[in-house]
Structure 1
């Protein structure tokens, strides 16, 4: 399948080398906890891997996300140096987003090596299946955090998606 995925422009990625990561980690944790509340199956579908840690490494960004799943205290932290994790999934941000949104076939992404798994492959597969089963829409989840302003945010998310080529919403939710 090897596809040319859109990458985050260096002009947008570079500031992540300088900004404090703690506030961004807190924002991602809030988003993750909202997703767990909206999709409780996300954690239960991890089965024996619910206590595993997952590094999600967008290779076109200078940070790695470390996910600590938990039904009530899900946590995401950002790291500039690769963190220790039970499983690591790496690839361009657009491929990772496409995996979440069902834009591209997850198996094809892994077999073509567009996405790379290190560590506990079974844990990474459990995470992928849990995300896939929940049909998460990150654009809608982010808009939902803004309360009544969410409807106003959706056109901007759609514009960002068109301009960047990044799948920011599930395909069936796009206008």
Structure 2
């Protein structure tokens, strides 16, 4: 069986590049989110994601505003699993408890920090409107949100948390 394109990409691109890009994306996406305020509780903790089928090891340090790459530093918490299970977690297709309970993802390291990370993942609900307001501010945010509400995509996603409801 051939590996999927994402697994091939993970194998072809150095882990440092993955880590830097994912840290920047995650930190940006946290703007305007309530979860961001809770990161200070874990600031300085290092988390390692080990993607078993992609052969990747991604090391992050939690900061008060997001993540930064922490290549080579010994992690406080390790989360190990297959790329499809990390995607299910990231896209909220499955809740963290199910993935950890069914041993599709494993969590090792400092018990308190690991539990805290898992609880943050469990509490993650993305608020797109809050993100747009934080990033753009004022009138540009109102304009962008108005345009988003007018798109057919907004009508299809109107039941999803944080997606602005389309006006009929």
Q: Aligning the two structures, in what range does the TM-score lie when normalised by the shorter sequence? A: 0.5 to 0.7
Q: Distance in 2 between matches of 1:110 and 1:18?
A: 28
Of the three residues 46, 61, 66, the one matched with 1:68 is: 61
Equivalent positions of 1:58-97 (< 5 A) are: 58-72=51-65, 74-76=67-69, 84-97=74-87
Q: Distance in 2 between matches of 1:98 and 1:124?
A: 19
The alignment's C-alpha RMSD in Å is: 3.7
Say if 1:117 and 1:123 are closer, same or farther in 2 by CA, change over 3 A: same
> Does the CA-based 8 Å contact 2:30-2:36 persist in structure 1?
yes
Say if 1:112 and 1:22 are closer, same or farther in 2 by CA, change over 3 A: closer
Say if 1:116 and 1:24 are closer, same or farther in 2 by CA, change over 3 A: closer
Indicate the structure whose relative CO is greater, using CA pairs within 8 Å and at least 6 residues apart. 1
Q: State the 1:75 CA deviation.
A: 0.5
Residues 125-173 of structure 1, C-alpha deviation per residue, up to 9 Å, x if partnerless?
A: 2112223323249xxx9xxxxxx9xx8xxx9xxxxxxxxxxxxxxx947
TM-score by length of 2: 0.61
Q: Which residue of 2 aligns with 1:42?
A: 36
Q: State the 1:116 CA deviation.
A: 0.9
Q: Distance in 2 between matches of 1:127 and 1:46?
A: 12
Q: Distance in 1 between matches of 2:8 and 2:38?
A: 36
> Does the CA-based 8 Å contact 1:29-1:74 persist in structure 2?
yes
Report how many residues are paired.
137
> Does the CA-based 8 Å contact 1:40-1:71 persist in structure 2?
no
Q: Which residue of 2 aligns with 1:29?
A: 23
Residues 102-138 of structure 1, C-alpha deviation per residue, up to 9 Å, x if partnerless?
A: 322322322221111111132122112223323249x
Q: Which residue of 1 aligns with 2:120?
A: 130
SS of 2:63 mapped into structure 1: coil
Unaligned runs of 5+ in 2: 132-143, 154-158, 162-168
